[in-house]
Copies of this chain bind each other. A is one copy, B any other.
Amino acid sequence: MSAEGQWERYREWLYDDPGQGFRLDVSRMGLQSEFVERMTPRLEASIEAMRRLEGGAVANPDEERMVGHYWLRAPELAPTPEIGSEIRDTLRDVVEFAGRVRSSEITTPSGESFEHTLIVGIGGSALGPQFVADALGNPGDRLRPRFLDNTDPDGITRVLRGLGGDLSRTLTVVISKSGGTPETRNGMLEAAAAYRSLGLELGPHAVAVTGGGSKLDDFAEERGFLRRFPMWDWVGGRTSVMSAVGLLPAALQGIDVDALLRGAAAMDRATRAADPRSNPAALLALAWYHAGDGRGTKDMVVLPYKDRLALFSRYLQQLVMESLGKERDLDGNVVQQGIAVYGNKGSTDQHAYVQQLRDGLPNFFATFVEVLDDGAASGIEVEDGTTSGDFLHGFFLGTRQALWDSGRPSITLTVDRVSAERVGALIALYERAVGLYAELVRVNAYHQPGVEAGKKAAAAVLDLQRRLLAALAADADGGTAEQLAARAGAPESVETALKVLERLAANPGRGVKRSATGTPAQAIFRRE
C-alpha cells in the first residue's frame, strides 16, 4: 500500500481518546469496511451479551457463577446492593489496612515496621500483582512484593534466602481464591517454616485473600493472621487484579489504587459503546478475528516499547489463552479455539526474534505498545540532539514499518504515560476485548475445564508415589520400575513409576536407592 493510502487508513481507523491519553490504531491490520459491516450484527450481539454479563447473568455455567469483575471499578453497577457494598467495604478495608502498615501502626509482633512484602500465589493470584508492581513500582520501594509463585522447593528457598533476616519484617500475603491451590498452600507452609526457623510465627506476619470459609480462610483464622480479605465467587482468577488480590499488594507498595480503578472504569465506559468503530475493545476483537480468521491461526506477539510493561505480555498470555483456549463452543461443538500470546519488550526483542517476524513464518500479528512520555529520563543526549528515548521510539516506528513492508500486520496501542490510570485502562481494554472475541467465536471465556485433567493426573502421580514407597518398604530387595508398579497396584503406570522412582533416588533422604547400571527399565530400586 502507498504511504498516502496508509495515511488515509490511519485517519479512517484511528480510535483516539485524548481524555484518557489513549489511542488504538488498527489501520495496519488489513480490515476493510465490508468486513466490519458483515461482522457488525455479531459484534452488536456480543456487546449486548457483555451488557447482560455486567447485569449479573450467570456466565460461568460450569460453576453457576456470575462474572463481575467490571463491578469492581463501578460498584454502582453491581446487580445487588449487597455486592456493591462488599466491593466498597473491601476497597476501603484494603486501603486502610495498607495505610496502617505503611504508617507502622500495624507492626510485627516485636513492634517493628513491616518493610517487605512476600506474595504467595499462582496464576491470577500472581500475574496481576507482578505486572502492576513492575509497571508502577521501583526497585527501592518499601513493601515492594517478592513472589512465591510455584511449588519449586529450590525456587522457594532462593526467594526466602534473598529475604534472609529481613523475613522478620516481612508481611506475607497469601492469595488463593479457592483456598485449596496446592502450590500456594505449599509456598505458605514453606514460608511458615522459614519464619519458625527465626523463632517466629507466620500468623502475626500474614494476611490472607481468599473466599470466605475456604481452607485458607480457616487456616488463617486458626493461625491468627493479621487480617483476611474476601475473594468472591463472581471474580475469576485471571480478572481478579482489581479485587483485593491485586489492590492489596499495590496499596502496600504505595501505588495509587484509586487511579488504577478509575482508569479501568473509564475504559469500561468507552468499551460499552454500541458502535464497533467507536469502541476500542470491539476494534481489537475485530482485528484479532480478521487476522486469525476467527480460528486463532495467527499468534499474538505483544511488544511494548517500555521496560515497565515487559510483563504485560505474560499477563495477557493468561487472560487471552485461558479465556479463549477452549475445546467446545457454546453449543458443544468441538472447535479447539484460542489465540497463542507471547512477547517481552522492544527494542530488546528486535535483537531476539524480529528476524523471524520480518522474514520468516507469517503466523502472527504484532501488538505494539507505544508510550509517549519518556518517564524518568536522564535527559542526556547520546548523539547530537538525540536521546535514548528518541532511539527507543525510532526503533518502534522502524520495526513496525519493516514488518508492514513485508506484509506483517500490526496493532498499535498508544498511551501518554505509564501510570496507574493507564495500567488500569489497558487491563480493562483487554478484559473487554477478550469477552467480545469469545462471543464472536462463541466460546465461554469464563471457565477453564481443561486444567482439571492435569490436576487429577498429578494427584494420581502423588498417590502412586505413596504406594511405590510402601511397596519399597515392604520388600528390602526392591525391584524394577515394572515390578514395583505392579506391586503398587498400577501395572499400567510403569513409565510414571519409573520417573517417580528416578527422582526420589536422585534426592538423598527420600529412602530410595537406584542401581548404578543398566537401562532405566533394568534399573533396580531399593529402599535406602
Contacts and interface: CB of A to CB of B under 8 A. Distances in A.
A124 B348 CA distance: 10
Among all A-B residue pairs, the 9 with the closest Cβ atoms: A325-B356, A123-B351, A155-B307, A398-B458, A325-B360, A154-B375, A338-B360, A342-B342, A359-B450
Interface stretch (A50-58, A241-249, A379-387): A379-387
A462 interface: yes
Given A3-B493, A344-B314, A456-B398, A450 B354 contact: yes
Contacts of A219: none
21 contacts: A3-B493, A139-B158, A140-B162, A154-B374, A155-B306, A183-B391, A186-B391, A193-B380, A295-B361, A322-B353, A325-B357, A340-B342, A340-B361, A340-B363, A373-B506, A393-B499, A393-B503, A394-B462, A397-B499, A401-B457, A402-B457
A152 B389 contact: yes
Contact of A336 (B338, B361, B392, B397): B361
A153 B377 contact: yes
Contact of A519 (B11, B322, B345, B494): B11
Contacts of A138: 158, 161-162
A190 B340 contact: no
A305 interface: yes
Interface string A130-147: 000000001110000000
Q: How many copies of this chain does the complex contain?
A: 2
Nearest to A188: B382
B306 A391 contact: no
Given A358-B453, A372-B503, A16 B520 contact: yes
Contacts of A348: 122-123, 126, 149-150, 183
A154 B342 contact: no
Interface in A494-512: 494-496, 499-500, 502-503, 506-507, 509
A352 B465 contact: no
